[in-house]
Amino acid sequence: MVDSIGDVLTLTAGKFPHKTAVINYGGPSFTFSQLNERANRLAHALKRLGVQRGDRVAYLFPNTSTFLEIHFAVAKMGAVGVPLNVRLVGRELQYQIHQADAVCVLFHEAFHHTVLGIRNDLPQVRFFIGQGPEGDGVLSYESVLQAGDPREPHEPALLYDQNVVLYTAGTTGVPKGAVLSHKNSLFNAMTMIMDYGMRHDDVLQVVPPLYHSASLNGFAVTGVLLGATQVLHAAVDPAQIFQSIQDHQVTFTWGPATLWRMLLAYPHRGRYDTSSVRRVINGAMYMPAPMRRAVLEMFPNARMGDTYGMTEASPCTTILRPEDVLRKPASVGVPLTICDVKIFDDQGRELPPGQVGEIVTRGNVMMGYDKNPAATAEALLNGWYHTGDLGRKDEEGFIYLVDRKKDMIVTGGENVYSREVEEVIASHPAVFETAVIGLPDEQWGERVTAVVVLRPGAAVRQEEILEHCRKNLAGYKCPKAVVYREELPKSAAGKILKKDLRTELLEKETPR
């Protein structure tokens, strides 16, 4: 019986003990038996140190096998995992560790000084475990693990117990901890297997960070459940990604459109054999049809799928199947097998095809926001999770993202959906990526402003971008200005942080 994520690793290790479970790119590999034994040892060791069932355990690691053995060890002993974003600074990490009431913090050696810098502000943390030698009040990770019992801990973690607290990207404010159950993680993994056709013989490439729900629940847990091999990348490096595909015969890879743009821009991509890849998954960002064709040319034997989701939905919600990615490239697809997705108006009534409203979903949503009943009550209404995304359905039931509710721009009394403007600007051959935001304007209320990153070596005047918009959009939707940037701020999921752009541009403006 599989009641928890910990059971998944135990069962798979019993069935495929000698099969390679995880490959650290450029580092060691572990079989399922080895990964399971290390997870067992760590679970017993943490229990001996005083971690109890239901306690929160925080871990700060890039994509490595250590992340996975911690994640499964915590589940095996009935505790609750709190994966931390490695891109956060000390103040931000301190907030999340404190807010989660974590009693233990485990961390990669690269974050030794960062963790020591916030240790005195974390009185509830009873012990810190870091890679490297002991000292400064920090226990040695490997020493702690090796002192543990290799047998199964047999803790009574159940399907509806808390499994993990995943902090939202904080695109609209202070990050909230979405609490997911073992059921959430397991059901998402099973859905990925059913709808995306993942197989036991697949080799999964994991480049986006494991502390993000898509890589963790969508790929890592799924791979362990199947007994598939995973190749983990601790850094985003195009040469390494292509080399990994060639060397390890990767069959399944995923990432946001930003990653695919990076790989398409890599000048030496033609040197590598990518024929092993059979499936490419795009997530989190819009990808126009010409770019989809270019990605498929880069992986000649692959078929492409898309997914739409969010941390609170465990995370996957919809699928755009390979047969539809070029037929409906602007869509995020149809609901996954165990998900229900509808478009509601502000009164909670379902809207007919073609009308724009809020995207809501049910079927595999979070237990709630940690210690935040008000936010939970606002997001979960009558069993439906309200995403805050605006969308519509067509007559075939395909869902289209229109905008974030908070990203909709009201200019001169007209609603402008930033996503529509972004799609037009992104179709310009000189544009690498773009974000469209609204800035305060005395005359119009808000003015449409485009922030643009150009392709390497490209040069284009603001007027050319504006003229391109005027040819494809109503006048009121066209940007009043174009601002150029070398890169756009992004969350761990690869989503553009528009609030950061607004803050930056508002700070640079003179009073109007």
175 and 50 in one domain? yes
Sheet holding 162-167, edge to edge: 138-140, 127-130, 102-107, 56-60, 80-83, 162-167, 177-181, 368-369
The rounded radius of gyration (Å) of the Cα atoms in the chain is: 23
Give the least confident one: 53-62, 132-141, 168-177, 299-308: 168-177
**225 inside domain:** no
Q: Which one of 139, 164, 181 terminates a domain?
A: 181
> pLDDT category, 512, cuts 50, 70, 90?
very low
Lookup: tokens for 300: 């000649």
Q: What is the pLDDT of residue 171?
A: 47
- Is there a single domain that holds both residue 155 and residue 301? no
> Which range marks the domain in which residue 102 is found?
33-181
Query: Is residue 391 located within the same domain as residue 429?
Result: no
Please state the rounded mean pLDDT for residues 286-292: 86
Q: What is the mean pLDDT of the chain?
A: 92
CB neighbours of residue 397 within 10 Å: 12
Q: Dmax of the chain from CA atoms?
A: 70
What are the DSSP calls for 274-301, one per residue? -TT--EEEEESS---HHHHHHHHHHSTT
* CATH number of the domain enclosing 445: 3.30.300.30
Residue 198 lies in a domain: no
pLDDT tens, position by position, 215-227: 999 999 999 999 9
Same domain, 369 and 413: no
CB 32 within 8 A of CB 21: yes
- Are 269 and 284 part of one and the same domain? yes
CA dist 387 → 99, 317, 473 (Å):
23, 11, 27
User: pTM of this prediction?
Assistant: 0.86
Q: How many CB atoms lie within 10 A of CB 364?
A: 27
Same domain, 353 and 434: no
Within this chain, do residues 95 and 38 fall inside the same structural domain, yes or no? yes
For residue 7, being part of any structural domain is answered with no
Question: Are 472 and 444 members of one domain?
Answer: yes
Kindly report the number of other CB atoms within 10 A of residue 293's CB atom. 14
pLDDT at 135: 87
State the alpha helices, DSSP H only, in 119-181.
141-146
Overall average pLDDT of the 295-312 stretch? 95
What CATH code is carried by the domain that includes residue 240?
Answer: 3.40.50.12780
- Give all strands of the β-sheet with 431-441 in edge-to-edge order: 431-441, 445-454, 481-484
- Domain identity same for 253 and 353: yes
Which residues, other chains included, contact 226 with Cβ-Cβ below 8 Å and sequence gap of 6+?
12, 193, 198, 199, 200, 202
Look at residue 141 and tell me if it is in a domain.
Answer: yes
Instruction: Name the band, by pLDDT with cuts 50, 70 and 90, for residue 511.
Output: very low
Whether the ω angle into residue 329 lies within 30 degrees of 0, i.e. cis, is no
Q: Are residues 115 and 163 in the same domain?
A: yes
Give the rounded distance of the alpha carbon of 296 from its chain centre. 22
Supply the pLDDT for residue 405.
Answer: 75
- pLDDT tens string 359-412: 999 999 999 999 999 999 999 999 999 998 899 999 999 999 887 777 888 887
DSSP conformation class of 87: T
Of 352, 379, 404, which marks where a domain is finished?
A: 404
Same domain, 321 and 418: no
The tens digit of pLDDT for each residue in 57-113 reads 999 999 999 999 999 999 999 999 999 989 888 988 999 999 999 999 999 999 999
Based on the structure, what is the number of domains in the chain?
Answer: 3
pLDDT digits (tens, 9 = 90+) for 133-172: 788 899 999 999 999 999 999 877 899 999 999 998 654 4
Handedness of CA 365, 370, 375, 378 (dihedral sign): positive
Alpha-carbon dihedral sign for residues 191, 320, 283, 166: negative
Q: Which two tokens stand for residue 186?
A: 């397991």
Q: Is residue 230 part of a domain?
A: no
